[in-house]
Amino acid sequence: MSADVRTEHLVKNYNPGVARDVLRDINLDIKEGAFTVFVGPSGCGKSTLLRAIAGLDDITSGDLYIGGKRMNDVPPVDRGVGMVFQSYALYPHMTVRENLAFGLKIKKADRKTIKERVAQASDMLGLDPFLERKPKALSGGQRQRVAIGRALVQHPAVFLLDEPLSNLDAALRVKTRIELAKMHRSRGSTTIYVTHDQVEAMTLADNIVVLSPLAEGATTNLEQYGSPLALYHKPANRFVAGFIGSPKMNFLKGMLEQIGDSKSRIKLDTGLSIDAAVDSSGARPGDKVEVGIRPEHTVMLDSPRADNKITGTVQVAEHLGSESFVYMDVGGKDFTVKVRPETPADMGSQFDIGVPADACYLFDAEGHAFPRTGQFSPGD
Amino acid sequence: MAMVQPESVRYRRWAAHAVLIGFLALIIFPLLMIIAISFRTGNYSVGELIPSNPTLDHWKLALGMSIEDANGRIVPPPFPVLLWLWNSVKVAVITAVLIVCLSTTCAYAFARLYFAGRSLLLKAMLIFQMFPAVLALVAYYALFSRISDYFPPIGLNTHPGLIFAYLGGIALHVWTIKGYFETIDKSLEESATLDGASPWQAFRLILLPLSVPILAVVFILAFITAITEYPVASILLQDESKLTLAVGSQYYLNPQEYKWGDFAAAAVLSGFPITIVFLLAQRWLVGGLTAGGVKG
C-alpha cells in the first residue's frame, strides 16, 4: 500500500493570465515509501502543491503521476491519498468513531471491515477511550490524532499532512513529531508533509523540497530537492542556505579577490579578507559575492582551525546552559555565532571569533552557490 | 460571575430594569387588550380590561359552535374560522419547508460554488426584495390569472398558487444562510470529498447538520411571514372556503358592523400556530454545533 509520486513541469495558477503563478515548473520524483517534506516561507505555494497532489486544487499545466498513473483529472477520492488538514477538519456533529468511519461508510464498505479498520486505527493512535466523544470534548492533541486516524482508516497509498503540528503546543509538537516518525517507519507508506518549520523538516524527512515565493522572471520556485544533510551542507543557493539551519546562516557581502578550484579569497565589504574552501574557478576576480557562515560553524580564535578572524561588537548574548549564542554587529551587519557555554561576552564589548575556511559557503551575485571543496564538522 | 461593582452600577441596573419592564408592558398591553375583547360581552372595541361579565360566545363562534343569543335564537357560526386556520397553517408550513429547501441549496451555491455573475446576482436579489410585494399586486394578479388559463392547479384561487407566490421571497433567507455557511470551515467539506463524498453528500451529511440553527431561524421567519401575510393572499384567494385566517378574519369587520369581539377571538387563535412552531423550533436553536471541528 504505497505509491510513488511524480510531478512533471507542474504549474499552478489560480487565475491564469491575470495572477502570477503560485507554482512554476515543479519537477519532483518522490520514491515509494519516502517521507518528503515541503518546506518554505508562507506564500511559497507548499500547501498549494499538497492540495494539487490531493486533487483539491486542479493543475494548470504539467502532469502529476501517483503510482505511475496520470492523476491530473482523477477526483481526489480515486487518487488513493489520505490527508490531514491543518485545521483538523473533524466533523463536529459526529463522534470520534463516526468521524473515523465516515469515509468507509461513504464508500459502502461492509460493516465488518469498518469495525476492523476503526479498531485498528484507534488502537494504534490510542483513541479507544474517546471513541464515543464528540470533537469538542477532546484536547488539541487528541483531535490531531483523530484527524490522522481518519486518514489512516482509508489505507491511503500516499499520506498527506498539511502543517499538522502547527496548532499544538511546543511539548506536544515534539512528542507528536516523534510519533509521526515512528508511524511512518511502521507503516511505510509514502508520506508528504508540509511545514514552515525547518526543524520539523530536518528531523522527519528523507527528502526535503524547498520552495520559495515565485520571484519576478524566475523559471521555477522549486529551490532545491534533496536529503536534509545535502541541503544543509550543499545548499544550491543563498535562499536554501538561509532557510535551512537554525539560527539562520550569516551573510557578509564582498568581492572575489583570488579565485581557485579548491580555495578562494574574498575581500569583505568590512575590509577583512577571508579564505574559503570553495571552487570559484568559474568566476573572475572582482566579481561580487556573498560569504555565508553558519553560527554553529565558528571556532574559538585559539583553535588551529581558525583560518579567518571575524570581529564585531556584542549586542546580545544568550546563555542557554548547554550552549550560548552571541549576537554581534559586524560592519553594520547582524552576525550570530554559537559558542561554548558561558563564554563571557559583555554587551558592547568587542568579540573575535574564528572561522575555518571549510566552514564558508560562497554565493555569486545571483545567489547561486559555488561548489564547496571542504565540509566543516565541529567534532573534528 | 459575581463581580464586585461600585454603587453607581447598581443604580444603573435598577434603572435598566425599570426601562425594560416599561418596554415589555408596552408590547404586551395590546395583546392583553385583544384577549380581553375576545371574552367581553358584545362586539365593542372599548371597555374594561378585565371583563366584568365574561362570555365565551366569541370563542364558540370562532371554534365553529353555535351560540344562543339574547332572544334565545340559535346563531350558527358565520364563518369557517377553523378551516381558515387550517388553511393558514397548511400554506405556512408548506411555504416554510419549501423556502428552507430552496434557500439552503441556493445559499450553498452562492457560498461555495464559483460561477459568473455570482455577486451581481446576489446583490440584484437583495435589491429586488426591497420593493414591497404590495407594489406588485397587480402584476401578481395578472400573472396568476394568466397561469390559471394554462395550468389551473397553481393559478388564481388555489393554495399551491399562493405558496408559489410566497416562494419569491427567499432573497433575505439566502443571504442569511449564505452568511452562516461561510462561517463553516471549507476544509470540512474538502475532507469529506477526500473521504469519497459527492458534493451533494458533503452538503447533506456535513454542512446541513451543522446549519440546523440557522435553518430553524429561517423556518420560523418564513412561517410567520406566510401566516400573517395579507395583501397577496387577499388578491389571489377568492372562495370563502379557501381563505387564510389573516384574510378571512377581516370579514368580521365590514362597514355595516364591526364585530370586534369575534374578530379578537379569531386573532388570538391565529397566534397559536406561531407560538407552537416557535416552541417546537426552539430546541433546534442551539449554539456551538460547529465547536471542536477545526482549530487555528
Q: Report the distance separating Cα A51 and Cα A37, nearest Å.
A: 14
| Of A287 and B256, more confident | A287
Question: Any CB–CB contact under 8 A between B54 and chain A?
Answer: no
Rounded to 5°, angle at Cα A230 from A227 and A234:
150
Say whether B176 sits in a helix, a strand or coil.
Answer: helix
Best of B186, B194, B205, B210 to substitute, by most chain A Cβ atoms within 10 angstroms, is B194
What cell does B253 get?
369587520
Q: What is the pLDDT of residue B288?
A: 61
Q: Within 10 A of A58 (CB to CB), how many other CB atoms are there?
A: 11
pLDDT tens digits along A189-220? 899 999 988 889 999 999 999 999 988 888 89
The pTM (predicted TM-score) of the whole model is 0.82
Q: Do A93 and B190 touch (CB under 8 A)?
A: no
A19 burial via Cβ count (<10 Å: 0-12, 13-18, 19+): exposed
* Contact residues, chain A to chain B, C-beta under 8 Å: 54-56, 75-77, 81-83, 85-93, 102-103, 106-107, 134-138, 140, 143, 150, 154, 166-167
Q: What is the pLDDT of residue A92?
A: 92
CA distance A267 to chain B (A): 48
Q: Which residues of A touch B291 (CB under 8 A)?
A: 92, 135-136
CA distance B107 to chain A (A): 21
Q: What is the pLDDT of residue A20?
A: 86
pLDDT tens digits along A79-117? 999 999 998 899 999 999 999 999 999 999 899 999 999
What cell does B124 get?
440584484
Strand order across the A23-30 sheet: A23-30, A5-12, A61-66, A69-70
Q: What value does the mean pLDDT take over residues A54-74? A: 93
Half-sphere exposure of A31 (CA within 13 A, CB side): 11
Angle in degrees, 0-180, between the axes of helices B212-228 and B171-181, rounded to the nearest 10? 170
CA distance A103 to chain B (A): 4
Q: Give the DSSP H or E segment for A172.
A: helix A170-187
| Confidence band for A124, pLDDT divided at 50, 70 and 90 | confident
Q: Report the distance separating Cα A59 and Cα A14, nearest Å.
A: 9
Q: What is the pLDDT of residue B289?
A: 66
Is the pLDDT reported for residue A154 higher than 50?
yes
Q: Do A76 and B291 touch (CB under 8 A)?
A: no
Q: What is the pLDDT of residue B279?
A: 87
| Confidence band for A140, pLDDT divided at 50, 70 and 90 | confident
Q: Which residues of B touch A140 (CB under 8 A)?
A: 295
Q: What is the pLDDT of residue A18?
A: 85
Q: What is the pLDDT of residue A371?
A: 93
| pLDDT over 70 percentage in chain A | 99
Closest residue to B201, CB basis, from A82, A106, A134 = A106
Say whether B238 sits in a helix, a strand or coil.
Answer: coil
Beta pairing, strands A190-195 & A23-30: unpaired
pLDDT tens digits along B43-76? 877 877 788 888 888 888 888 888 887 787 888 8
- What's the distance, CA B59 to chain centroid? 23
DSSP states of A124-161: HHT-GGGTTS-GGGS-HHHHHHHHHHHHHTT--SEEEE
Rounded to 5°, angle at Cα B7 from B5 and B12:
90
Q: Specify the DSSP class assigned to residue A20.
A: P
DSSP states of B269-280: HHHHHHHHHHHH
Is the pLDDT reported for residue A47 higher than 80?
yes
Q: Report the largest interatomic distance among the alpha carbons of chain A, rounded to a whole angstrom.
A: 75
Question: Which of B:195-224 have CB within 8 Å of A?
Answer: 195-197, 201, 205-206, 209-210
Best of A95, A96, A102 to substitute, by most chain B Cβ atoms within 10 angstroms, is A102
Q: Which residues of B touch A167 (CB under 8 A)?
A: 295-296
**Chains A & B: contacts with CB separation below 8 Å:** 85
CA-nearest of B38, B57, B36 to B48 is B36
Q: What is the pLDDT of residue A326?
A: 94
Q: What is the pLDDT of residue B73?
A: 85
Q: What is the pLDDT of residue A276?
A: 92
A16 prior amide bond cis, ω within 30:
no
**Regions of chain B with pLDDT less than 50:** 296
Q: What is the pLDDT of residue A337?
A: 94
Q: What is the pLDDT of residue B204?
A: 92
Q: Report the distance separating Cα B204 and Cα B89, nearest Å.
A: 27
Contacts of A285 (CB under 8 A, 6+ apart): A256, A257, A258, A259
Q: Do A135 and B185 touch (CB under 8 A)?
A: no
Give whole-number Cα distances, B72 to A122, A163, B53, B66, B68, in Å. 81, 86, 18, 12, 5
Q: Do B192 and A92 touch (CB under 8 A)?
A: no
